[in-house]
């Protein structure tokens, strides 16, 4: 028979020693978000000491932009133990979080403090429905790779409006990822359990687009399905409808879209009975809609209706620090799919980082798929790149194999290129969206001359 130990006989420091040596990361926060205790495993997960968290951040502010999705909001609302898959935005590693509330003893069911246990690569097979809901969001978040300050700020703004019903207009060049961002908004909103539907308004003939959007009843036109057909507004009921390339929408359909937005009702083709619509609208275009209004190709009243919140998605050439992480991400996806272990030669990454990417993320994704397929061995050399990419920087220079040296080499090439084109510290700072102090230090490190401003 095993001996048991009376917990009352154990000294207090014994419990603290257990927590301090636990591999799992443990956080204790009060109901305002102030960290009252965390063990040294914090350093491994977040790169900061327990003292830093306890003394510096009095509320939830530290976690904004650090982990996604936040667990404390659901816990404060439901007051029960919850299980989350979370993404550490600094390391791109997935963690599993068990968040347990400790209620006050006044029978009010108010949370006194909460205990969070964080584990890397925790098995998800036993996690509850919250884990399943957040899994799709986390995967989508991984696709929205970005360290560029402007891009991250933009995503945080979209997160703030995601849970509302106001229409969102996404502007930006073709290939910048507007569809993925629209899905991200949907998954971040309270509509995440409802359908997400999308349509490219410029890819479907105008005579078919109306029936795709609103559906039709039996016998509406020659060749119509005898049972009729539901349109996207009906199929997306309760969820989100994404209208891509809204600038290509015919004028007559613009009127009908405006009617749905104003009245929450639409009529299928051939019907006289309106159908109620509870759909959140997100639109996107690469056109200048104000110019379209001037040319009488777009209704001004519809423009102001869909433009309750407008966000401009930056082109990839404005997010150069994201090119290498995105390229590695797409390569990792192919390696995982086909069970291979292909890697980039350092010079290949430098050339990818220097290319101007007129097709944006879509072009980068296609290039990575192409060179993955065409590379017979495990190393993707620069001569595997398409000619238009390779010609952008085909100088024979010394490069390094280690990851840190790859980043330094890419950084050097970018700084030299931008400084040669801009000629000033301010120009480099504005082009790369970095501080002037940082621009000065990098120009001093990599260039022979410093501009005196």
Per-residue pLDDT of the chain (453 residues; tens, 9 = 90+): 445 555 566 777 777 778 887 878 888 888 877 888 888 877 766 666 677 677 666 666 666 656 767 777 777 778 888 887 777 665 566 777 888 888 887 666 788 888 888 876 544 333 343 333 333 333 344 357 877 888 888 998 999 999 999 999 999 999 999 999 999 999 989 999 999 999 999 999 888 899 999 999 887 776 667 788 999 999 999 999 999 999 999 999 999 999 999 999 999 998 889 999 999 999 999 999 999 999 999 999 999 999 999 999 999 999 888 888 889 889 989 998 999 888 888 778 888 988 999 999 999 999 999 999 999 888 898 889 998 898 766 544 444 445 566 677 677 777 887 787 788 888 888 878 788 888 888 888 887 655 444
Helices (H), 30-94: 41-46, 50-56, 72-78
- Domain 317-446 maps to which CATH number in 1.10.3720.10, 1.10.8.60, 3.40.50.800, 1.10.10.10? 1.10.8.60
Which three-class secondary structure state does DSSP give residue 292? helix
pLDDT of residue 233: 96
User: Any idea where the domains of the chain sit in the sequence?
Assistant: 13-128, 149-314, 317-446
Q: What is the pLDDT of residue 57?
A: 61
Give pLDDT, residue 126: 36
CB burial of 68-86 (b: ≥16 within 10 Å; e: otherwise) equals bbbbbebbeeeeeebbbbb
pLDDT of residue 89: 60
> Taking the model in full, what pTM does it have?
0.59
Smallest CA-to-CA distance from 276 within 264, 294, 259 is with 264
So what's the pLDDT on residue 130?
Answer: 36
Contact 176, 322 (CB under 8 A): no
Contacts of 45 by beta carbon, 8 Å cutoff, 6+ apart: 25, 88, 95, 118, 120
Q: What is the CATH number of domain 13-128?
A: 3.30.450.20
Q: Does domain 149-314 have CATH number 3.40.50.300?
A: yes
Please tell me the predicted confidence (pLDDT) of residue 453: 47
**What's the rounded Cα separation, in Å, for the pair 188 and 186?**
5
State the pLDDT at residue 106: 64
* CA pair distance 405, 347, nearest whole angstrom: 11
CA distance 227 to 230: 10
Q: What is the DSSP letter of 129?
A: H
């Amino acid at each position: 028979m095993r001996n048991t130990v009376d917990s009352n006989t154990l000294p207090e420091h014994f419990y603290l020693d257990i927590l301090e040596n636990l591999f799992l990361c443990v956080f204790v926060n009060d109901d305002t978000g102030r960290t009252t205790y965390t063990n040294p495993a914090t350093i491994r997960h977040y790169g900061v000491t327990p003292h830093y968290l306890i003394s510096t951040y009095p509320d939830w502010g530290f976690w904004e932009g650090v982990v996604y999705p936040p667990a404390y909001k659901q816990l404060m609302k439901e007051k029960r133990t919850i299980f989350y898959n979370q993404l550490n935005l600094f390391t791109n590693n997935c963690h599993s979080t068990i968040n347990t509330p400790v209620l006050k003893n006044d029978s009010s069911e108010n949370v006194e403090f909460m205990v969070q246990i964080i584990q890397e690569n925790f098995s998800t097979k036993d996690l509850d429905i919250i884990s399943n809901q957040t899994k799709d969001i986390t995967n989508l978040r991984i696709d929205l790779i970005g360290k560029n300050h402007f891009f991250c700020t933009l995503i945080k703004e979209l997160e703030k409006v995601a849970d509302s019903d106001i229409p969102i207009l996404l502007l930006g060049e073709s290939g910048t990822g507007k569809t993925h961002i629209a899905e991200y908004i949907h998954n971040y909103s309270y509509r995440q359990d409802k359908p997400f539907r999308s349509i490219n308004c410029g890819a479907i003939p105008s005579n078919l687009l109306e029936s795709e959007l609103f559906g039709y009843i039996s016998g509406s036109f020659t060749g119509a399905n005898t049972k009729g057909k539901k349109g996207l507004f009906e199929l997306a009921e309760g969820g989100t409808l994404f209208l891509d390339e809204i600038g290509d929408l015919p004028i007559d359909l613009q009127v009908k879209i405006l009617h749905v937005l104003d009245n929450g009702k639409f009529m299928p083709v051939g019907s006289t009975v309106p159908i109620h619509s509870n759909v959140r609208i997100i639109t996107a275009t690469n056109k200048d809609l104000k110019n379209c209004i001037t040319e009488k190709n777009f209704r001004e009243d519809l423009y102001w209706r869909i433009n309750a919140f407008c966000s401009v998605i930056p082109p990839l050439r404005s997010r150069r620090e994201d090119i290498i992480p995105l390229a590695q991400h797409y390569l990792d996806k192919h390696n995982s799919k086909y069970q291979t272990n292909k890697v980039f030669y350092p010079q290949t990454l430098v050339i990818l980082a220097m290319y101007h990417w007129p097709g944006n993320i879509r072009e980068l994704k296609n290039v990575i798929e192409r060179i993955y397929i065409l590379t017979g061995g495990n190393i993707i050399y620069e001569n595997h790149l398409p000619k238009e990419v390779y010609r952008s920087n085909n100088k024979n220079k010394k490069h390094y194999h280690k990851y840190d040296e790859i980043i330094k080499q890419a950084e050097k090439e970018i700084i030299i290129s931008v400084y040669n084109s801009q000629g000033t510290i301010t120009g480099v700072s504005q082009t790369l969206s970095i501080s002037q102090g940082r621009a000065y230090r990098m120009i001093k490190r990599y260039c022979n001359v410093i501009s005196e401003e």
